[in-house]
Amino acid sequence: MAFDALQYEICEDNIEFRLIAPDTWMLTTKLLEPFSSDCYLLSGDESAVIIDTGMIRHLNLKEYILELKLTDKPIIGAIATHSHFDHTGGNGWFGHAWMHKNSVYGATHPFGGNADGYILDYPIDIIKEGDVIDLGNRRLEFIEIGAHDLGSVAILDKDRRILFTGDELETGWINIGSTTPEKVPGQTIETHYKNMQKLKARYDEYDIICPGHHGAPIDKSSIDDFLKCDEMILSGVPGDPYVPRKNGGERFRSIPHIKVMRYRMAHICYRDDRIFEDK
């Protein structure tokens, strides 16, 4: 047994996992750090990868997956949906990661700067639009969709017909351009809308969507809710200035121009002075 009792306790208390499709596990990290995320272990005929890795410290997530025998294929690395450390903090345990070039800095710099309990010097391969990784009859294609984060990629599981969307299309809440001190080109509703249209154009290539937070899988028609929500913002429908507690509460409410737009399952937190790229 690779784990001692304390490590097992950390795992049992902080990771939920369930099989959501054949050879496809969802692992949700929780509690021990202020942020949780939903990670996905995918196995093909020859190898396995994990999409996002959470940010629990001092926890060898790969060893835990192997202990539980969630896959009998070699896990060849982690794929980052985007840079944010609640998705990339565990990458080091997998010995190798793929990510967009805009994700490298964030993935190797923990929130708040405390690196204790993380491995940050792992090798990274840069991925870009159209690149494909083949796990053996399971091809994963990358689609660039940066807006919440400029390193965001969607991962289209072409053979199992699943779309992984990270934090650009979540179960409920997303955050577009609302928290950086300065306006960042690309982090606008206009760009998010274009990216959602790009995913909509591939609509007949996937059946379900697996986002980065709050539970999965979700029906692919959820993308229509996000398109509609973006359209409402772009067309000048006024957003709600009150950010509810579960979405950041007072900390977010103090941000200038902060607004929330809701349409069915799509709730977008944004700034009304960062809707368009050129204004």
Task: Tell me the closest approach of the beta carbon of residue 89 to Zn ion, in angstroms.
Answer: 12
Q: How far is the CB of 146 from Zn ion (least distance, A)?
A: 11
Structure token digits, residue 19: 């099989």
Asked if residue 252 lies in contact with residue 243, where contact means CB atoms within 8 angstroms, the answer is yes
Q: Which stretch binds Zn ion (CB under 5 A): 15-23, 79-87, 198-206, 258-266?
A: 79-87
User: What are the start-end ranges of the H helices in the chain?
Assistant: 5-14, 61-67, 85-88, 104-107, 189-200, 222-234, 249-253
Q: What is the closest distance, in whole angstroms, from the C-beta atom of residue 107 to Zn ion in the complex?
A: 11
Q: Which amino acid is at 177?
A: G
Give 90: exposed, middle or buried? Use CB within 10 Å, 0-12, 13-18, 19+. Answer: buried
Q: Which is nearer to Zn ion, 60 or 103 (CB)?
A: 103
Choices 12-20, 44-52, 81-89, 176-184 (CB under 5 A): range interacting with Zn ion = 81-89
- Cβ distance to Zn ion smaller for residue 38 or 167: 167
Count residues near Zn ion (CB under 5 A): 2
Alpha-carbon distance of 207 to 47, in angstroms, equals 23
CB-wise, 24 or 36, nearer to Zn ion? 36
Closest CA to 241 of 225, 228, 257: 257
Half-sphere exposure of 223 (CA within 13 A, CB side): 24
**Comparison of 84 and 160: residue with beta carbon closer to Zn ion:** 84
Q: Which residues, listed in sequence order, are joined to residue 261 by a DSSP beta bridge?
A: 268
CB 51 within 8 A of CB 154: no
Residues 192-251 that bind Zn ion (CB under 5 A): none
Q: How far is the CB of 101 from Zn ion (least distance, A)?
A: 17
Q: How many helices (H) and strands (E) does the chain have?
A: 7, 16
Map the footprint of Zn ion across residues 83-122, applying CB under 5 A.
84
Q: Which is nearer to Zn ion, 170 or 190 (CB)?
A: 170
- Number of Cβ atoms within 10 Å of the Cβ of 206: 20
- Residue 22 CB, shortest distance to Zn ion, in Å, is 28
DSSP 218: E
Q: Which residues ranging from 120 to 179 are in contact with Zn ion (CB under 5 A)?
A: 167
- Which stretch in 32-40, 78-86, 198-206, 259-267 sits in contact with Zn ion by CB under 5 A? 78-86
Residue closer to Zn ion (CB basis): 138 or 267:
267
- Smallest distance, Zn ion to C-beta of residue 213, A: 8
Give the interface with Zn ion as residue ranges (CB under 5 A). Answer: 84, 167
